[in-house]
Chain A
Amino acid sequence: MSVPELLITILLSPLAAAGLIWLFGRKNHNLAAGLSVLAAGVSMVCGLILLYSVWDGTVVEGMRVEWLSLGALQISLGFLLNPVSALMLGVVTFVGFWIHVFSLGYMQGDAGKGRFFGGLSIFMFSMLGIVLADNLFMIFIFWELVGFSSYMLIGHYLTEEAAAASKKAFIVNRVGDFGLLLGIIYTYWNFGTTDFGALEQAIGGHPGAVSTVVGLLLFCGVLGKSAQMPLHVWLPDAMAGPTPISALIHAATMVAAGVFLLARLAFVFTPEALEVIAWVGTITAVCAAIWAFAQRDIKKILAYSTLSQLGYMVAAFGFGTLYALDHGSSAGHTAAAFGVGAAMFHLTTHAFFKALMFLGSGSVIHACHHEQDIFKMGGLLKKMPITGITFGIGVLAIAGVPLLSGFYSKDAILYLARETNTIAFYLLTFTALLTATYMGRLFFIAFWGKAKSEHAEHAHESPMTMWLPLVVLAVLSIIGGYTVGGPFTIYPSSILGVLGDSVPELHGSDHTLFIIISLVAATIGLLGAYLFYGAGATEDRLEQRMRPLWALSKSRFYFDEIYGWYVARIQDRVADFIDFMDAFLIGGVAVRGSAGITGLFGLLARSFHTGNAGSYVWWFFIGLLTIWGFASGFLTNLF
């Protein structure tokens, strides 16, 4: 099969599955599940074939179809395949498939299983649309669709909590989309096109051709989708959805779409915009890491961890692109390559180990009968060895222990930060330390020590549909970091352009320095967590011993409270006030008022009708006189 054919299959098979599920699979849940997994498998297989054998790494633009043409507006849909999107394609299809497999086991017995798998397929379709899009309008279309799938899936359990969470996710995303759409419209009118290739040619190399504002507007979309501050509030709440969703959408793929957009649009950002982007990322990374400490719910901890890692990716993009702009092109790299490379690399490794950990937490939650508080777990490593070990590998990876994938990608980011802005470098390193600590806290409390509740006592390993993906992802979490310089690499040569050349190589003393930094951070973090929290503790020691720190962490800097206050006190009150004014002024005074005035005229006219025949004769007489007056010219002469 040729490249375009493969791309079409990859894109459309989940859509076909979704359609079939909607028609036939709502009652027949197993059929729905089977169709969905099959479609994901087809996508994955085609994706792998594409990457490993058919595609040679050259940029492919194709199958452009004009979808709407109204006057000066032309919107077309087409494919753009370059190393960045190919990498993303690989990650999405591969991780997506294994999460589908996991869902087979996890969603067993759920009443809405058919609906769930339909939603999963729609999500895959939308996400792949984002990955393969060749222009901004098309990305926006699929961007919105992804938001919709996320809404549907977060709200899967139909509880009050799910309602609030899904609403929040969609609305916060929409706020980001508001900025994104403004940026897209501006781009369209300035350049006549939103096609990535054409834009790159028009702008690439002269970032001054477009203003900082446009870059920041487009970044708004990233703020929403990738949950950067201040639009990060929806991600922790999104944990109300089923765990496979949290893994797929809110860890590996959808939230990474923002980073992907940045990578696609790397040439648009001016240095000022990049500064802002980098700092937003850094601050998100640090703050989220601080907030993770006061969380007791295993999924919430992972959610804040995701926020933090996304901050890393965004910061990587910012600092890396700044670095490349400062140092100019060297050794054949384009100016934007380092930022893109580092961000995409971390995106990939993060997808592996975060999806792994989320699925692991799903396995744990499933085994403990939906208990999610880590302080009620404990001793799970013995009871669920596969889950425990794979989860441990994930923890090591995220902590940045050398030789695992996370180390390589995080190193690249720290290096770029150091080269560009020392303060950010210290902050990010501190965050790495915090990351190791809170992940260690999670692992030691949940998996070591003694079981602290009935459910944890009776936990047992999950079925194969659930542990097999864990194993696969664990393996990738280990070997996913080896690219050009490593002993071997799992990545095809077509992608190595992004992962290899575009990621800064550390040599000599830098190389050693960063190994030491990572090792030290990871060790201090993990060891510190073990010593401070103790294995299998029943209560949070930070809460007990260092209450102020704990309170600071738990407050999450009051973002949710501020937004909630704004909605309830300001927005709703303004809405009520305007509603009242509308009903009173326009509906009441203007409309009923004019009806009333007309009524008054009516009353006036009615008063002439006395019903008394005598008075009618008087009127007759007066009328007669008036007519006589006009006829004889008497009255007309008077006026």
Chain B
Amino acid sequence: MNIGLSHFLFVSGMLFAIGFFGVLLRRNVLVIFMCLELMLTASILGLVSFSRYNATEGEFLWSGNVFVLFIIAIAASEVAVGLAIMVALWRRRQSVDVANHAELKN
């Protein structure tokens, strides 16, 4: 079987969907974060595969890969900040369940 672009995109899409629904439906904040990362990973995969399959003969297409590097850096910093907030939330409520952190209600 010839593995083409569409296969990679399919995987990327599945990963994205898993991550997306995980953010919407999971209650544990850590899991939500992981799903966020999953979505990012899915987008990374998609970018790399585009850059691989849209390269013409003899010439590499660097743009997708470079973009991936950006995304990784940003993801890392976002995770750092997010985890710090999460730790602060844990200190307040001793819980990482999203439902317990509804003080902004109304």
Contact = CB atoms under 8 A, between A and B. Distances in A.
A611 B102 contact: yes
B104 interface: yes
B91 interface: no
A624 to B, nearest CB: 11
A617 B22 CA distance: 11
A612 B99 contact: yes
B102 A610 contact: yes
A618 B102 CA distance: 15
B101 interface: yes
Interface string B65-100: 000000000000000000000000000000000110
Nearest to A613: B98
A378 B103 CA distance: 94
Interface residues of A, number: 11
Q: Indicate the size class of the contact surface on chain B.
A: 10 to 19
A607 interface: yes
Interface in B1-56: 23-25, 27, 32
A611 B24 contact: no
Contact of B24 (A606, A607, A610, A614): A614
A609 interface: yes
B106 A607 contact: yes
B106 A606 contact: yes
Contacts of B25: 614
Interface in A359-404: none
A618 B24 contact: yes
A609 B98 contact: no
Given A606-B106, A607-B106, A612 B98 contact: yes
A621 interface: yes
Interface in A608-639: 609-614, 617-618, 621
Contact of B105 (A609, A614, A618, A621): A609
A621 B99 CA distance: 19
Nearest to B104: A611
Contact of A609 (B24, B99, B101, B104): B104
Contacts of A613: 32, 98, 101
B25 to A, nearest CB: 7
A621 B24 CA distance: 10
Contact of B23 (A607, A609, A612, A617): A617
B58 to A, nearest CB: 37
A365 B23 CA distance: 103
A609 B24 CA distance: 16
Interface in A155-201: none
Contacts of B23: 614, 617
Interface string A583-621: 000000000000000000000001101111110011001
Contacts of B102: 610-612
A599 to B, nearest CB: 13
A610 B98 CA distance: 12
A614 B98 contact: yes
B101 A617 contact: no
Nearest to A609: B106
A607 B98 CA distance: 18
Nearest to B25: A614
A254 B39 CA distance: 100
A621 B104 CA distance: 20
A168 B73 CA distance: 92
B101 A610 contact: no
B106 to A, nearest CB: 4
A610 B106 CA distance: 6
B35 to A, nearest CB: 11
B81 to A, nearest CB: 16
A602 to B, nearest CB: 10
Contacts of B99: 612
A610 B103 CA distance: 9
Nearest to A621: B24
A190 B34 CA distance: 94
Contacts of A610: 102, 105
A607 B105 CA distance: 8
A463 B103 CA distance: 92
A628 to B, nearest CB: 15
Interface of B: 23-25, 27, 32, 98-99, 101-106
Q: Which 9 A-B pairs have the closest CB atoms?
A: A611-B105, A611-B102, A611-B104, A606-B106, A613-B98, A609-B106, A612-B102, A617-B24, A610-B105
Given A614-B98, A617-B23, 7 more contacts: A609-B104, A610-B102, A610-B105, A611-B101, A613-B32, A614-B27, A621-B24
8 contacts: A609-B104, A609-B106, A611-B101, A612-B99, A612-B102, A613-B32, A614-B25, A617-B23
